[in-house]
Structure formats: structure tokens, C-alpha cells
Amino acid sequence: MTGTNLAQSGRIVAPYVTATAAEQDLKCSLVVRPGSLGIGYAQELPGDRDHLGVLWQKVAERPEEGKPEFARVHPARQRRAMYELLCQVCAGPADQTSDGVLWLLRDHREDWPRWPEGMASVEPPVCARCVAISLKRCPALQRGAVAVRVRSFAIVGVRGTLYRPGMFAPTPIAASELDYGNPQIRWLVAVALIRKLRGCSFVPFDELRDAMDVK
């Protein structure tokens, strides 16, 4: 399986979306596009933009090399997992039933009464087996996370770095999350795709654990 962080034994050593130390940002000169129509790469390729024309951060893709850096998410793999609804851990299909697609989220039920209803998420979904394995390996997760079925998960925008025209080259001004409909998105270099989660219902962990029969 190319593109997954698998050790030779076939065991998952890091989630699919986790970047490794060998996967650094590629140096690409940013330029203001003619007519101040936003930013682009000096030597831009068609694959540098997504299906809606937004520019993405270019990062080396060598998941088999270097140590996993668990705090870093690989932009291309996050985008692929989120866009195709792949499990963010194993890159297989995310779990889906008639109640929706499965997400594992940090528990923020205190944030608002019907959390996570309407939440904008950069976390791709998961498969039930990877939830079960994670719970087995990390009991703390059971107290700090929730499994949620999501009926509607529209792609709404991206997270990234917003730029403005500078003296010599575009200048970064802020980390930002923008909807695809926002004209400022032409000034952004994206690092993560955002879906809006609606029609959410909680799934007891026991249900997943039993369903998957993880030994």
C-alpha cells in the first residue's frame, strides 16, 4: 500500500495523515498573479490547485521515510482522506452506515448545547476498526474523545495561510479558515480541507468495540 505509514510488519506505526520528518515543505516561490488576481507559484503545475482552483502548500511525500511527527498533518494526505472519506489512520474507506459516516473527535460537548452539530472539521473520518484499536491502545482516549455518526458532511472551505501583496513577493499575514465562496481565498495557500458536520449522533464506544471484535 503506497502512501500509508506502514512498517514492514504491516502494522500501522502512525496515522496516514501524519507527516514524517522526511516530509518538509517544498520551496516554491509565490508570486502575485497578473491583475492582482491572488497568488500562485512561479512555476505552477495544474496539480498545485484543488478541484475548485485553490492553491495548496507543496510538501514532499515520503511516508515511509523519517520518524512520524505526530503534531504535523500532511496537507496532500489530509486532503485526500477528507475528500475521498478515507480513514485518517489506515487510509481504508471510513466506516459508513445508514446513520452516516464515522468521526472520532476530541470531546468538546461543553462548547455549545448541540455540539458537534454544525462544526467545521479538519479531521478526516475513521473506520470502526481504527477507533477500536485506538481505544484499546490508549484508554485515556475513552475519556477525552467521542465517536460521532455524521449524516451530512459538505466540503465548505480550507485552512491555510493568507497572504497580501508585498514589496518583492506576497507576504504572509495570518493563519485563516475560508469558505470556498470567499473571494479572499485566492490569497490563501491551503493546508487542510474543511467539512461541515451536520446530522450528528453519538455512538457508544462499546458498540464499535463489539462490532469490530478487536483482540
- C-beta of 153: minimal distance to Zn ion in Å? 17
Rg (CA), the chain: 19
Helix pair 128-137, 205-212: axis angle to 10 deg: 110
Cβ 150 vs Cβ 200: under 8 Å: yes
Residues 81, 89, 119, 135: which binds Zn ion (CB under 5 A)? Answer: 89
Residues 19, 54, 119, 130: which binds Zn ion (CB under 5 A)? Answer: 130
- C-beta of 129: minimal distance to Zn ion in Å? 6
Cβ 63 vs Cβ 100: under 8 Å: no
Whose CA is closest to 47, among 76, 18, 72? 76
**Per DSSP, what are the bridge partners of residue 13?**
none
Between 130 and 146, CB nearer to Zn ion? 130
Q: Which stretch binds Zn ion (CB under 5 A): 58-66, 89-97, 158-166, 168-176?
A: 89-97
90 lies in the site for Zn ion, by CB under 5 A: yes
Residues 127, 148, 192, 208: which binds Zn ion (CB under 5 A)? Answer: 127
Binding site for Zn ion (CB under 5 A): 87, 89-90, 127, 130
